[in-house]
Amino acid sequence: MRVHHLEVNVLAIGDAVGDAGLEILARKLRRIKKCHNIVFTVANGENASGIGITPNQAEQMFNAGVDVITLGNHTWTRREIFGYLDDNGFILRPANFAPQTPGRGWGIFDTPVGDICVINLIGRLNMKFGSENPFFEADSIIRQVNAGIVLVDFHAEATSEKLAMAHYLDGRVSALWGTHTHVQTSDAVVLPKGTGYITDLGMTGATDSVIGIKPEMSISMFLGDPPGRFEAAAGDAKIECAVFGIDSATGRCVSAEPLRIT
């Protein structure tokens, strides 16, 4: 019997930062999805408040066309998100957080092209966060998953940790992308065993900023001024993301293309 191979396009969107990031998603995401024939969209939303995310901001992202929201080290900054994480299965926090924390770290989602699993993990190198080992957590989750396509958002600081995880999971997941550093890398690739990869998607937010934050606030920090709460920058924005083409019959990635939309 001939197996029908259908290439499925998945969109992964870098960290949405502040109102500028949310607004450009609302204005442009549906057009991007149509242009690139996207069937499933995952976006990191942990900086929607600048630092953290509220239920209202999560709803804005869903209304813009995001299917699943992933988070990271700022998950717990806005306490009002705690109950929302338990109630809404389409927003994920890192799976290797302590098991008693609210929410879930992975899910299987029914789509027109079959089940898609999304896993959210957080790194440990230079993150100053007491999470469990993400490599062991990935193993544990993958053993439980029965889905044709498996996607991983690895929210981590170190490029070495992201690359190591990608090679560790090569052939076991369809695509793995890095988030957290807010600077898009130029290394999108399909690894030897069929996993799509990019070290960092970049960010969705104000173009004239320091990784989404008002430049003067970041400069002040590096000058050693008394600390203050960072504020997201405003003005013209960009969406940094990547499209992964995945063979629905095998779950293997066949193409990985970074995008920047202004």
What 8-state DSSP symbol labels residue 142? H
d(CA 76, CA 95): 14
d(CA 130, CA 104): 17
Catalytic site positions: 74
Residue 228 near residue 50 (C-beta atoms within 8 A): no
Closest CA to 72 of 50, 90, 57, 92: 92
Residue 115 near residue 108 (C-beta atoms within 8 A): yes
191, amino acid identity: L
Cα end-to-end distance, the chain, whole Å: 46
CA 36 centroid distance within chain: 18
Strands 38-44, 7-13: pairing is: parallel
Task: Write the CA distances from 175 to 5, 195, 200, 257, 262, integer angstroms.
Answer: 17, 5, 13, 12, 25
